[in-house]
């Protein structure tokens, strides 16, 4: 080896071929433009706090206390001083004080962890949090003693964001290069990247865009038949509901069709339900609820990064499993194998775990933090809807753009029916970035029907920012597509 030469090494080709457009060439170009002094608007990714969305106050009050438990006693002392000698603290506002509710909750959290936030937890997360998640799921799905099937805390894994859970299942399912996983097109590229990384086959199915991204059994059967003819051994089907990037929302009947389809074909279902709070003009129905006592394996994902919470940086999520399969050839449950996978990473980060705990334990009506919590939550969710509506109105003023489906998740996925001869949605998004600073992701980054073009935009910028950039985008668009 020559001392002045770089070593050239053969590497895992699956990693080389893996693509992840959400942080791909367009965001990379945006990073270059930022270095050159340009202001960009990062709509390539669902990262609400990057646009100034405030965290829920109550969550952060608890986090702050649990990270420095000596503060709990001090806050109690301050509250006592306030009670007896209010003048002494006249520089402070009411909001500068922490309610007993929050103090007690923080204290009880620390007692329950036994070892605080600084120690490795159990690899699947502390039992009391998994129990709280199970109660949350049962409440959400209206399970009671006479109706429905309860979630099992032993079948729940707390993870660093939802992505980690998805990766573990797909890694495990792909046993062979002919093994395939069905994914919707368009899809969140975590799925295509993970299937590629695991060396399996991506099997596409195509929700009906013109019918609001609806899905039905014949769409699934058709895709499966096609894969089987190709020699693919299909193991599971991914469903993203609400849809990313489409925003589409599945109704109960569709979910039942997916379950029947999986049952008939001995597939597992991977239900990405991280946007379950981001639903407008429809109701979220979980796969677990519709599944009931059907014995179809279900892996469902949830996260603290989305909804009204938006705590992306804290990396918390969970994977809940129903009807865990067994490993062919022996009697080991998937639960044990996934626990082993988790144990090699020791545990997910404990702050993410705490935020999951808070997510599944909203303050009860009448409690001290309740009113502020509900106000903040509603304000965030309403604001998101207003911004989606603003962008939809902008799209209406663009030549040959259609945006189908209801409003869900944090994204719109408009179809660009007209582009300059020979150009693609990638060119469009790159030009849009260069001209306006708006960073979106081209439809091909998510997959799309041959011959169609789209882009995904996260509806997260503030209204003021949208007021400024939407006219620029409309002007860019009408000029670009007509040139």
Interface residues for a second copy in 76-95 (CB under 8 A)? Answer: 77-78, 80-81, 85, 87-89, 91-92, 95
CB 36 within 8 A of CB 453: no
Closest CB to a second copy among residues 8, 483: 8
CB of 479 to a second copy, least distance (A): 32
Please say which residue, 381 or 475, places its beta carbon nearer to a second copy: 381
**Torsion 436-440-445-446 (CA) sign:** negative
Smallest CA-to-CA distance from 134 within 168, 158, 107 is with 158
The C-alpha angle 418, 186, 298, rounded to 5 degrees, equals: 165
Q: Write each residue from 197 to 236 as x if it is in contact with a second copy (CB under 8 A), else as -, in one continuous string.
A: xx------------------------------------x-
Residues 323-362 that bind a second copy (CB under 8 A): 323-329, 332, 334, 337, 340-341, 343-352
Q: How far is the CB of 38 from a second copy (least distance, A)?
A: 16
Taking the C-alpha atoms of residue 219 and residue 237, their distance in angstroms, rounded to an integer, is: 12
Return d(Cα 3, Cα 212) in angstroms, integer. 60
Per CB under 8 A, the segment of 168-176, 203-211, 360-368, 371-379 that binds a second copy is 168-176
Told to check if 451 binds a second copy by CB under 8 A, we report no
Torsion of CA 202, 204, 209, 211, to 10 degrees: -130
Binding mask 24-53 for a second copy (x = CB under 8 A): ---------------------x-xxxx---
Contact 410, 243 (CB under 8 A): no
Q: How far is the CB of 181 from a second copy (least distance, A)?
A: 12
The nearest distance, CB 178 to a second copy, in angstroms, is 11
Q: How far is the CB of 91 from a second copy (least distance, A)?
A: 5
User: Taking the complex as a whole, how short is the minimal distance between the CB of residue 210 and a second copy, in angstroms?
Assistant: 31
Give the rounded distance of the alpha carbon of 442 from its chain centre: 19
Q: 120 vs 471, which CB is nearer to a second copy?
A: 120
Q: Single out the segment in contact with a second copy by CB under 8 A; choices: 174-182, 208-216, 421-429, 462-470.
A: 174-182
Distances (CA, A) of 426 to 25, 206, 468: 9, 21, 23
Interactions with a second copy, residue window 415-444 (CB under 8 A): none
What is the dihedral sign for C-alpha 132, 138, 140, 144?
Answer: negative
Query: CA–CA separation, 423 vs 426, rounded Å?
Result: 8
The binder of a second copy chosen from 8, 83, 147, 483 (CB under 8 A) = 8
Residue whose structure tokens are 């079948």: 155
The residues in 242-301 that bind a second copy, with binding defined as CB under 8 A, are 263-264, 266, 268, 294-297
The SS3 call for residue 181 is strand
Distance of CA 370 to the CA centre of its chain: 25
Tally the C-alpha atoms within 13 A of residue 214's C-alpha that lie toward its C-beta: 11
Selected range binding a second copy among 192-200, 207-215, 376-384, 422-430, rule: CB under 8 A: 192-200
């Amino acid at each position: 080896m020559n001392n002045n030469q770089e070593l050239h090494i053969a590497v895992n080709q699956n990693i080389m071929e893996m693509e992840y457009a959400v942080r791909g060439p367009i965001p990379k170009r945006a990073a270059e433009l930022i270095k050159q002094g340009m202001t960009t608007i990062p709509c390539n990714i669902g990262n609400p706090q990057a646009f100034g969305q405030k965290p829920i106050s109550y969550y952060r009050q608890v986090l702050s206390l649990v990270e420095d438990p000596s503060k709990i006693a001090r806050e109690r002392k301050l509250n006592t001083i306030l009670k007896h000698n209010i003048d002494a603290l006249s520089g402070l506002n009411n909001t500068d004080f922490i309610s007993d509710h929050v103090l007690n909750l923080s204290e009880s959290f620390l007692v329950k962890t036994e070892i605080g936030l600084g120690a490795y937890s159990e690899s699947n997360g502390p039992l009391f949090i998994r129990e709280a998640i199970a109660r949350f799921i049962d409440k959400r799905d209206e399970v009671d003693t006479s109706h429905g099937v309860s979630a099992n805390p032993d079948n729940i894994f707390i993870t660093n964001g939802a992505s980690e859970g998805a990766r573990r299942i797909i890694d495990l399912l792909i046993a062979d290069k002919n093994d395939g996983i069905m994914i919707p097109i368009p899809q969140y590229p975590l799925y295509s990247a993970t299937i590629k990384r695991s060396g399996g086959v991506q099997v596409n199915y195509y929700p009906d865009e013109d019918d609001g991204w609806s899905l039905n059994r014949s769409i699934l059967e058709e895709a499966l038949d096609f894969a089987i003819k190709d020699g693919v051994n299909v193991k599971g089907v991914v469903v993203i509901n609400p849809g990313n990037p489409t925003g589409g929302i599945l109704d109960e009947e569709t979910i039942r069709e997916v379950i029947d389809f999986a049952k008939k074909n001995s597939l597992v279902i991977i239900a990405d339900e991280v946007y379950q709070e981001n639903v407008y003009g429809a109701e979220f129905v979980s796969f677990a609820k519709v599944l009931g006592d059907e014995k179809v394996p279900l892996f469902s994902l949830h996260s603290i990064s989305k909804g009204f919470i938006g705590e992306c940086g804290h990396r918390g999520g969970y994977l809940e499993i129903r009807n865990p399969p067994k490993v062919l050839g022996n009697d080991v449950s998937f639960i044990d194998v996934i626990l082993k996978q988790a144990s090699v990473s020791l545990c997910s980060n404990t702050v993410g775990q705490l935020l999951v705990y808070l997510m599944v334990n909203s303050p009860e009506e009448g409690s001290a933090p309740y009113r502020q919590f509900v106000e903040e939550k509603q304000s965030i969710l309403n604001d998101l809807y207003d911004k989606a509506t603003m962008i939809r109105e902008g799209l209406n003023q663009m030549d040959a753009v259609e945006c189908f489906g209801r409003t869900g998740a944090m994204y719109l996925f408009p179809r660009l029916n007209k582009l300059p001869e020979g150009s693609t949605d990638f060119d469009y998004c790159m030009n849009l970035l260069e001209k306006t600073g708006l960073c979106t992701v081209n439809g091909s980054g998510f997959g799309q029907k041959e011959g169609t073009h789209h882009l995904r935009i996260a509806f997260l910028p503030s209204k003021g920012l949208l007021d400024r950039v939407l006219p620029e985008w409309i002007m860019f668009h009408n000029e670009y597509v007509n040139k």
